[in-house]
Amino acid sequence: MPEAASQTLISATDLSEQVSRYMDEDDASRVYDAFLLAAEAHDGVVRKSGEFYIFHPLEVAYTLADLHMDADTICAALLHDVIEDTAFTKADIAEKFGSVVADLVDGVTKLAGGEFTSRAEANAASFQKMMAAMTQDFRVVLIKLADRLHNVKTLGVRKPDAKRRIAQETLDIHVPLARRLGMNAMRKDLQINAFQHLFPWRAKILQKTMDHFIADNTDTHQEIIKNITEALYENKVKGRVFRWHKNLYRLYLRIKNNKARKHLDSQTEALELRILLSTTAECYAALGVIHQLYQPKIGKFKDFISTPKGYGFQALQTTLLTPQRQLIIVQIQSHEMYQIAQYGITAHRRYPDLLKSSDKSQIYLNRWLRQVEEIQQVTGNAAEFLQDMKADLFLSEIYVSTPAGETKVLPKGATPVDFAYAIHTEVGDKCVSAYIDGELSRLNAHIPNGATVKIITEEDATPHSIWLNYVITAKARSSIRNWINKRKSHEFVALGKKILDKSLKKFGLNLDDIDPKNMTLTLDVLSLKNEDALFSSIARGNQSSMLVAKRLLNDDTLTAIDDENEDQVLLIKGTEGLAVHLQECCHPIPNDAIIAQLDENRGLEVHRTNCPTLSNSKISHASGQKKKETMSIAWVDDTSTESHFLAPLNVQVQNRVGVLSHITDFLKEIRVNIEDINIAGDSNVKDMYFLLQVKSASHLREIAESLNNQSHVINVVRLFDKAK
C-alpha cells in the first residue's frame, strides 16, 4: 500500500467536528458547503498516493482548523486547488462564498506554467504573486504553508528527483516563511519532513543515534529535571520543567558544519530544557534560581524578553554546566510567550483566553508586511524579488540602536548601508559614512550585535552600485536596484536623444524641427509607446539613429546635406553616469582618441581607438554574437570641472630596497592618488602597475615623464601606447 494511503485520513466529519468547537452554526455550515463544492470539483481525481484528491484539501483545512482559523480561511483551504486544477473560476467562488474567500484562493493559486520558459521562472512569478496577496491578507501564506506541510508529508510516492526538489524548495522558502510568521511548531514539522525526504538515509541514522543517546542518558536527564523543579519549588517559583525534543534537521546541520564533533555524547551534546511560568517576573526569578544551582557558561545568556526577535519571539536563554560536565540549554518563557513562539500569528486564535495582552506577533508581522509591500513596489523582476526575499528570510537577527536609542532588528552580517535603509529609504540613498559605537567605520563593515550606529548623510549624495556587493537585506538591495534602474532609464533616454539629434543634424535639422505627426507615425511603425521608449531603444542599439531620423523626416531616400556632417561626432564628458561607461580594458581619459559601441544593457561603451578589445568584438560578431553599433565620439572641451579618471601606468624599475616607497612618495608630492598597485617581475627588474587618478591624457603624460626621471626607473609605459 502506498505510504500516504496507509495513514489515517481526515474526513469531512472530522473537520466538521473540529470547526464546530469554536465556530457558530452559520460559519460551520459555510465550511461544509465549501467541502461540497471541493468534492464536486475534484470528483474522480486521484493523487499519486492512490487516495482521492479531496482528502488533500481536507487535510489542509483541518491543519488550519486546529489553529482555530476563521471560516473564510477554512473555506479557502478547502477550495485552494479549485481554480488551478478544475473548471471552476474565481468568479464562481466569489458568487458562492464571497470576494474574501475568492481572493484567498486566487492568492494561493500558482500562475499558469505555459506562460513561462522554465519551472524556475514560473515558481518565481508565483511566489511574487503569493507575497503580493499576502501583503493584503496574511492568511494566504497560512493556507500555502498548510498545503505544503501535507504535500511534504506525502512525498513517499513521488520519484526521487521530485522528492529532492520539493524538499529543498520547502527548506528554502516555506520553512523561513513559517519562521517569519512566528509559527515554530509548523516550521519544525516542515523541516523534519523535508529532511527525511531530502536525505532519507542520513535522517534514519541520525534518528537512531539520537534515540540511543536519549536512552543512555535518561536517568541523568531525569535527575537534572528533578533538581531544577525542586529548586524552583523551594524558591516559591511555580514552573513546569520538561525536556525539549531536538529538531533532527537542525541537529544534522550542526553536526555537518562542525567537523570536530561527529558523535553525540553527554560531554558535548546538550540537554535542552523548557521552563514555563505564569509571569515575566517569574521568568527572571527562575533564571536566578538555576544560575545558583548550576554554573552558567559565560557569554551564552540571551534576553529575548526585553529585546524580542524580529518575529515576536520572547524567552530567556542560558547554557549551564553540571558538576558532571553535562551541558544544559534552558529556555525560560511565560505560558503566553511559549504559545506565541509555537503558533505565532495564530496563537491568539488558538488560545484566546490566555493571550489577553496585545499580540506582539501581529505587530511584528504588520511591520514585515509593510516592508514586503515596499519591496514589491520597487522590484519588477520576479527572480530578483525571490532571491532577495529568500536571503532576507534566512538570516539570523542582530539588534542595533540609533543614537536616539531606537532599536532596529537586522540580519546577522548587516552593514551600515543596511541599517541606513532600515531607518528610511531616503537615509539609505543619501548615506555617505557611519560611526559604529563612536568609531568611524567602512560602509561595508559588519555591524556587531548590540552596537549603536550613527549614519552620516549628505543632501547631494546618491547610492552606489557597488553597495549591491555587500548589503544583505531585501529592503536595501531592492531600494538600491530601484534607484539604479530609474536613473539608468533616464540616462538611456538622454543618451538616445543626443544620438538621434546628432543624426538629424546631418540633414541640417534637430528634434525641434520634427513634425509631431511624423513622430507619432514613427512610434506606431516601430511599436514603441512614447518618445522616451524611442530614445532608449536608440541608446541601447536596438534602433539605427540614422534610419529613425529618415523616418521622422518621412523620407527614406534622404542623404546628408554635405560630406562634412558625415564626420560629425558625438561629444561626451565621460561623467554622464550609468549609461556611459569608460571601459576598464583600456581606461580612456580626456584628450584620448576614442570610439564607442552601443550595448543593449550598458549603453555607450567608450574605448580608446587602439583598444585590442575592439578587434575581439569583430571576432565575436563573426562567431554569431549580436554586432554592436559603433559610433564616432570625442571629448567635449570642458575645463570647468575637476573630474578625475582612472588610467594605468606600467613603471619598470630596478629591484632596489625602497624603490616602491620612493615612487609612491613622489606621486604623493605631485598630488596624484593611487587607486591600485600590482607588482611582477624577477629579482633584477620589477614591473609596477599603478592605477592612477588623472585629469586628462596630457596630465598622464606629465606624470609619466616625471616618473621617467626618477632614480632606478627604467621605463614608463601606458598600456596600448605601443600599438599606435
**Within a domain: 207:** yes
Residue 298 has pLDDT above 90, yes or no: no
In the chain, what percentage of residues exceed pLDDT 70?
A: 86
| Confidence tier at 394 by pLDDT (50, 70, 90) | low
Q: In which domain, by residue range, is 657 found?
A: 645-723
- DSSP for 461-522 reads ----GGGGGT--SHHHHHHHHHHHHHHHHHHHHHHHHHHHHHHHHTTT--GGGS-HHHHHHH
| Confidence tier at 360 by pLDDT (50, 70, 90) | low
Residue 431 CA to residue 427 CA, distance in Å, equals 6
Note whether 137 and 227 are same-domain residues: no
Q: What is the pLDDT of residues 233-262, one digit of tens each?
A: 999 999 999 999 888 998 888 888 775 555
**Within a domain: 476:** no
Residue 570 CA to residue 495 CA, distance in Å, equals 10
Tell me the C-alpha to C-alpha distance, in Å, between residue 678 and each of 81, 337, 653, 715: 61, 58, 13, 16
Output phi, psi for 327, to 5 deg. -75, 140
**Within a domain: 454:** no
The SS3 call for residue 348 is helix
Note whether 43 and 189 are same-domain residues: yes
Strand 397-401 vs strand 316-321: parallel, antiparallel, or unpaired?
unpaired
Which helix H or strand E contains 293, and what residues bound it?
helix 280-293
**For 318, which DSSP code?**
E
Q: Single out the residue of 33, 35, 29, 43 nearest to residue 96, CA to CA.
A: 33
The residue-averaged pLDDT of 331-342 equals 91
| Confidence tier at 114 by pLDDT (50, 70, 90) | very low
Q: Single out the residue of 199, 182, 147 nearest to residue 363, CA to CA.
A: 182
Question: Which residue type does 552 have?
Answer: L
Q: Tell me, what CATH number does 80's domain have? A: 1.10.3210.10
Contact criterion met (CB below 8 Å) for 66 and 174 = no
Copy the grid coordinates of residue 162: 521530485
- Higher-confidence residue: 531 or 571? 531
Output phi, psi for 286, to 5 deg. -65, -35
- pLDDT value at position 59? 93
Q: Single out the residue of 323, 313, 350, 317 nearest to residue 267, CA to CA.
A: 323
Contact criterion met (CB below 8 Å) for 541 and 599 = yes
Note whether 315 and 282 are same-domain residues: yes
Query: CA triplet 211, 251, 306: central angle to 5 degrees?
Result: 120
Residue 100 has pLDDT above 90, yes or no: yes
Cβ contacts of 197-202, under 8 Å, gap ≥ 24:
197/152, 197/155, 197/156, 197/163, 197/164, 197/166, 197/167, 198/163, 198/164, 198/167, 198/168, 198/171, 199/252, 202/252
Judging by beta carbons within 10 Å of its beta carbon (0-12, 13-18, 19+), is residue 314 exposed, middle or buried? Answer: buried
Note whether 165 and 309 are same-domain residues: no
Q: What is the pLDDT of residues 540-555, one digit of tens each?
A: 777 778 778 888 887 6
What's the pTM?
A: 0.64
Q: Tell me, what CATH number does 257's domain have? A: 3.30.460.10
Q: What is the pLDDT of residues 161-196, one digit of tens each?
A: 889 989 998 998 888 888 888 889 999 999 999 999
- pLDDT value at position 69? 93
- Domain boundary pick from 179, 199, 219: 199
The SS3 call for residue 52 is strand
- pLDDT value at position 278? 92
Strand 594-599 vs strand 603-608: parallel, antiparallel, or unpaired?
antiparallel
- pLDDT value at position 623? 46
Q: What is the pLDDT of residues 600-637, one digit of tens each?
A: 777 788 898 888 887 655 544 444 455 677 778 888 77
- pLDDT value at position 267? 60
Contact criterion met (CB below 8 Å) for 596 and 604 = yes
In the chain, what percentage of residues exceed pLDDT 90?
A: 30
- pLDDT value at position 522? 85
Copy the grid coordinates of residue 24: 457558530
Residue 584 has pLDDT above 90, yes or no: no
Residue 404 CA to residue 532 CA, distance in Å, equals 45
Note whether 190 and 49 are same-domain residues: yes
Note whether 617 and 652 are same-domain residues: no
**Within a domain: 422:** no
The SS3 call for residue 556 is coil
Note whether 494 and 615 are same-domain residues: yes
Judging by beta carbons within 10 Å of its beta carbon (0-12, 13-18, 19+), is residue 257 exposed, middle or buried? Answer: exposed
Q: What is the pLDDT of residues 706-715, one digit of tens each?
A: 998 888 889 9
Q: What is the pLDDT of residues 469-500, one digit of tens each?
A: 888 888 888 888 888 777 778 878 888 888 88
Strand 630-635 vs strand 453-457: parallel, antiparallel, or unpaired?
unpaired
| Confidence tier at 10 by pLDDT (50, 70, 90) | confident
Q: What is the pLDDT of residues 663-694, one digit of tens each?
A: 999 999 999 998 888 888 888 888 999 999 89
Mean pLDDT, all residues of the chain: 83
Q: How many CB atoms lie within 10 A of CB 336?
A: 22
Judging by beta carbons within 10 Å of its beta carbon (0-12, 13-18, 19+), is residue 455 exposed, middle or buried? Answer: buried
Note whether 76 and 156 are same-domain residues: yes
**Within a domain: 612:** yes
- Domain boundary pick from 611, 635, 659: 635
Residue 367 has pLDDT above 80, yes or no: no
Strands (E), 132-246: 240-243
| Confidence tier at 4 by pLDDT (50, 70, 90) | very low
- pLDDT value at position 352? 74
Q: What is the pLDDT of residues 30-67, one digit of tens each?
A: 999 999 999 999 988 888 777 888 999 999 999 999 99
Residue 128 CA to residue 28 CA, distance in Å, equals 32
Q: Tell me, what CATH number does 650's domain have? A: 3.30.70.260
- pLDDT value at position 291? 94
Residue 254 CA to residue 287 CA, distance in Å, equals 26
Give me the number of domains the chain comprises. 4
Note whether 45 and 108 are same-domain residues: yes
Most confident of 16-20, 212-216, 351-355: 16-20
Question: Which residue type does 656 have?
Answer: R
- pLDDT value at position 430? 92
Note whether 251 and 330 are same-domain residues: yes
Tell me the C-alpha to C-alpha distance, in Å, between residue 226 and each of 223, 229, 243, 273, 275: 5, 5, 11, 12, 12
- DSSP for 65-130 reads HHTT--HHHHHHHHTTTHHHHSS--HHHHHHHH-HHHHHHHHHHSPPPGGGSSSHHHHHHHHHHHH
Q: Look up cell 533538581; give the residue.
A: 227
**Within a domain: 253:** yes
The total number of residues shown for the chain amounts to 724
Strand 316-321 vs strand 327-334: parallel, antiparallel, or unpaired?
antiparallel
Partnered with residue 631 across adjacent β-strands are: 596
The residue-averaged pLDDT of 143-160 equals 90
- Domain boundary pick from 357, 382, 408: 357
Question: Which residue type does 405 have?
Answer: G
Copy the grid coordinates of residue 131: 507575497
Contact criterion met (CB below 8 Å) for 65 and 28 = no
Q: What is the pLDDT of residues 699-708, one digit of tens each?
A: 999 999 999 8
Q: How many CB atoms lie within 10 A of CB 251?
A: 17
Residue 564 has pLDDT above 60, yes or no: no
**Within a domain: 561:** yes
The SS3 call for residue 409 is strand
- Higher-confidence residue: 595 or 399? 595
**For 1, which DSSP code?**
-
> How far does the chain reach from its first CA to its final CA, in angstroms?
80
- pLDDT value at position 566? 45
- pLDDT value at position 489? 81
Note whether 188 and 268 are same-domain residues: no
- pLDDT value at position 193? 94
Residue 445 CA to residue 467 CA, distance in Å, equals 11
Question: Which residue type does 320 have?
Answer: L
Residue 35 CA to residue 40 CA, distance in Å, equals 9
Note whether 656 and 604 are same-domain residues: no
**Within a domain: 115:** yes
The SS3 call for residue 295 is strand
Residue 138 CA to residue 345 CA, distance in Å, equals 9
